[in-house]
Chains A and B, each alone.
Chain A
Amino acid sequence: MDVISLRNISISFDGEPVLKSISLNIRDKEFITLLGPSGCGKTTTLRIIGGFTKPDRGDVFFDGQRINGLPPYKRHVNTVFQRYALFPHLNVFENIAFGLRITKTPEKVVRQKVGEMLSLVNLSGFEKRQSGALSGGQQQRVAIARALINKPRVLLLDEPLGALDLKLRKEMQGELKNIQKRSGITFIYVTHDQEEALTMSDTVVVMNAGEILQVGTPEDIYNEPRNAFVADFIGESNIIPGVMPADFAVDFCGGRFECVDKGFEKDEPVDIVLRPEDLTLIEAGNARIHGVVRSVTFKGVHYEIIIEGMGCMWTVHSTDYAAVGTEAGLEFEPFDIHIMHKS
């Protein structure tokens, strides 16, 4: 059951197309993430769902009903804004209670519900604080509580963790995922952090320049990127041009390699993706791909080693060390080779 459907949504600002006929179905109760580089139209997509921006063309459906003309205050959708937008004249309690005050909820119920929300976002005891006197992470959590208290069908979150440090960010990611599961609210989450998208989402939507490039589960997107852009954006990748001479075979770097892909046209030019962590360092002597180590960077768990050879720069993630300037070889399995149509 789709709670929200976007159909052929287009919009331009000052003659610049920002969304180019995008269509997207969002299932009820799922955690879906819009992922893409800055300026690709993520916020604009959220604003169209929230009702703040009218698309030039296309339709928005909510539970199968067309809601193009419905103002934001009549939509069962709440938003955690990119910059929180807390009310500066209200304290934490009243910021969170805002939605309930609008519906003239009895004071007793307001107290109880705001109390629940405060403990949900770990801010009990902060009721009387003015919103200006909170840290970024605390404002963040007030914004989430304020948007959740109305029990919306859909919650829109626009890079909600953008301002937080890494540790708090990780904590809040888990926190949000829990809230989503427990509340059964559909989350539409925006981020340009691929790791965040992969760890939290049921569905990832990769966008670029106003277009949706791929929709799928995190595993799908990571393992079967549809084109070189997705592959590159989703994780560091080695992207090499090649040709498919036949099913289960691919030519690149002057050699023919066995692979698991089929269904391409004969001699179709393709992009080959090899993940850095799928490459294994071996002796240069008996390797089909080999080159000279150009740099080694310690990354905590592994080394990031850049090897130049066979006309390419290869990025390798390995727990083995290789000294700069030495010869090294690379090895990989047929299923490590991901083949994509040229886009």
Chain B
Amino acid sequence: MNKARSAAFPYILWSVLFTVLPLLLVAYFAFTNGSGTFTLDNFANLGEYTAVFVRSLLLALISTLLCFMIGYPLAYILSRESARRQQIMIMLVMLPMWMNFLLRTYAWLTILENNGLINRLLEFLGFAPLHMINTQGAVVLGMVYNYLPYMILPIYTVLIKLDYRLIEAAHDLGANPAKTFFRVVVPLSMPGVSSGITMVFMPAVSTFIISKMLGGGSSLMVGDLIEMQFLGNAYDPNLGAAISLVMMVIILISMLLMGFFDSEDKAVIM
């Protein structure tokens, strides 16, 4: 017992230093004003940013949904390939992740711009140019592109570990490939889906670079708002800390909802 406790010491030190302490600092800043006295003003003023919060949640939800709709089939196809092919394809999925995040997003800027690659191609083919940059669509595209691997990988990991004998058992009992997929493969891959959703939704809801680069000023997100309070010209760390705190609560609630739906899901399939 004592031994176990002392073995846990480095972990406890780590979490105090890097998790609990920063959290307390954020809370301190959130509940004080510039001169360090207690106040709730920071939260009282948040009302005017409701639109930003709603937009952030909405865009993150859409991106997560799209990631799931693209990522699940991809992960499934991947898991069915031969071992060699799987290796190559997994490499291809991860390849963009090796490139710098800013660079990747910047590349999309040059593709989507009003006189960017796509529009030049359209012009060349004799079509009217499209307005793509600085739209919410561009932000969603950027998020889906950046976070897709985080959806594919956990689902893929669960799928390759799936016991093939269960699929054979389903076939044996008369389930064709489609029915086997929906009644056996999908329910058994739910753990991968829920960690995929978590891993995409969390960074998506608090993203700031993507919305700034691809969304212009028009689709300001919570991440941008927080950044502006610390690094931007709207300098106000106390307000920034309050927004961060609210953001954390929102993420926490979404995750709890997720877990709730997850177990609900299983009950329904049962």
7 tightest Cβ-Cβ pairs between the two chains A and B: A85-B169, A72-B171, A99-B173, A85-B165, A89-B187, A73-B171, A79-B172
**Smallest CB-CB separation from A128: which chain B residue?**
B270
Q: Are A146 and B171 in contact (CB under 8 A)?
A: no
If A89-B188, A89-B266, A89-B270 are given as contacts, then 10 extra A-B residue pairs at C-beta distance below 8 Å, sorted by A number, are A52-B168, A52-B171, A73-B174, A73-B180, A81-B165, A85-B168, A88-B188, A89-B184, A89-B269, A103-B174
Q: Are B173 and A78 in contact (CB under 8 A)?
A: yes
B183 within 8 A of A: yes
B131 within 8 A of A: no
Q: Are B174 and A99 in contact (CB under 8 A)?
A: yes
Contact with B along A68-96 (1 / 0, CB 8 A): 00011100011101010111111100100
- For B174, what are the chain A residues with a Cβ–Cβ distance below 8 Å? 73, 99, 102-103, 150
- 29 chain-A/chain-B pairs, Cβ below 8 angstroms: A52-B171, A71-B171, A72-B168, A73-B171, A73-B173, A73-B175, A73-B176, A73-B180, A77-B172, A78-B173, A79-B169, A79-B172, A81-B169, A83-B165, A86-B169, A88-B166, A88-B188, A89-B188, A90-B270, A91-B270, A98-B173, A99-B173, A99-B174, A102-B173, A102-B174, A102-B175, A102-B179, A147-B173, A150-B174
- For B266, what are the chain A residues with a Cβ–Cβ distance below 8 Å? 89
A256 within 8 A of B: no
Q: Could you tell me the distance between the alpha carbons of A73 and B173 in the complex, rounded to whole angstroms? A: 6
**Smallest CB-CB separation from A156: which chain B residue?**
B172
A291 within 8 A of B: no
- Residues of B within 8 A of A (CB-CB), count: 21
Q: Could you tell me the distance between the alpha carbons of A103 and B176 in the complex, rounded to whole angstroms? A: 11
- Residues of A within 8 A of B (CB-CB), count: 27
Chief secondary structure at chain B's binding surface: helix
A residues 88-139 touching B (CB-CB < 8 Å): 88-91, 94, 98-99, 101-103
Q: Are B184 and A87 in contact (CB under 8 A)?
A: yes
B48 within 8 A of A: no
Name which of B163, B168, B179, B188 has the most chain A CB atoms within 10 A of its CB.
Answer: B168
B170 within 8 A of A: yes
Q: Are B170 and A98 in contact (CB under 8 A)?
A: yes
Q: Could you tell me the distance between the alpha carbons of A160 and B195 in the complex, rounded to whole angstroms? A: 37
A225 within 8 A of B: no
